[in-house]
Chain A
Amino acid sequence: MTTLNPYIYFNGNCREAMIFYQQCLGGQLNMQTVAGSALEDRCPVAMQRKIIHATLLSGAIFIMGSDMCDAAGVVPGNTIAISLNCSSEQEINTLYERFSEGGKVVDPLKTQFWGGMFGLVEDKFGVRWMFNYDKNELN
């Protein structure tokens, strides 16, 4: 089965971000540092404790992250958001609140014209998250 998952690049704070996402979403977090990886010898000392590859698996959610960004550093944009399809009103409220901490609300969570609840948050790491819940739709 082909799968599609988001991969997020960080400017050296991948560890902090992935721990934050685990606090928001729960699940199992695995992080591999540059030290101990096959790229260890090719990376400067300052990179050794950085994250080469991180995965967070929580139920059907699988997101990945890394500090191995472009040499010029990470520039957050607004071309991609991670959309979370929630299965209850309680879940959408909880997730929206957790991700908003220290971040910026772009669209406040509310019931929209199509009948579903929706909100958009740019978290404190510059990553955009969408929250969706439609009680009239089977999840």
Chain B
Amino acid sequence: MATVNPYLNFQDNTEEAFNFYKSVFGTEFSAVVRFKDSPIAGNVAEADKDKIMHIALPIGNGNLLMATDMLKSMGQELKTGNNFALSISPETEEEALRFFNGLSEGGTVEAPFKKEFWGGYFGMLLDKFGVRWMINYQPAS
């Protein structure tokens, strides 16, 4: 059966973004591949060899947040949209608040983390790398 994970593109700052996500989620990278270490190293501009071809950060039990650097030298251009959010459902209220506060640092809070009409806690933010996050915590009833 297929599984689903979000894959992010950044322009040149994947590593900075993922070090930030690592600090928030408190997990370790399960993969870090730079262009210079890949079979296509010969096709990549010198200045881009240290850029990230693939990086993966486990979140929770089984999900992977993954990303790559788009390379201008390869004609790849980042186009920021607004049709996506990454929704995180933490185990505890304390964890939810920690993720929300952590991801908000330097970003824009769009909906403060608080109890909503449906009985759960919810907050939404645009982080400093342009990624939109929703934090959902549903207390056991």
Chain B contact-residue range equals 35 or more
- Asked if B63 is at the interface (CB within 8 A of a chain A CB), the reply is yes
- B3 x A81 contact (CB < 8 A): no
A38 to B95, CA, bound (A): 27
A126 to B87, CA, bound (A): 19
The digit string for A93-121, where 1 denotes a CB below 8 A from any CB of B, is 00100000000000000000110000000
- Inter-chain contacts of B86 with A (CB < 8 A): 4-7, 80
- Asked if A25 is at the interface (CB within 8 A of a chain B CB), the reply is yes
Stretch at the interface among B44-52, B74-82, B101-109: B74-82
- Inter-chain contacts of A113 with B (CB < 8 A): 38-40
* Besides A78-B79, A79-B80, A83-B6, 18 other A-B contacts (C-beta < 8 A): A2-B63, A2-B89, A4-B65, A4-B88, A5-B4, A7-B87, A62-B4, A75-B82, A76-B81, A77-B78, A77-B79, A79-B9, A80-B7, A83-B5, A84-B4, A114-B39, A127-B83, A130-B7
A residues near B (Cβ < 8 Å) are: 1-10, 25, 38, 59-64, 69-70, 74-87, 91, 95, 113-114, 126-127, 130, 139
Q: List 19 A-B contacts (CB under 8 A).
A: A2-B91, A5-B89, A61-B1, A69-B83, A74-B81, A77-B82, A78-B79, A79-B79, A80-B7, A80-B8, A81-B7, A82-B5, A83-B5, A85-B2, A85-B3, A85-B4, A87-B2, A113-B39, A127-B83
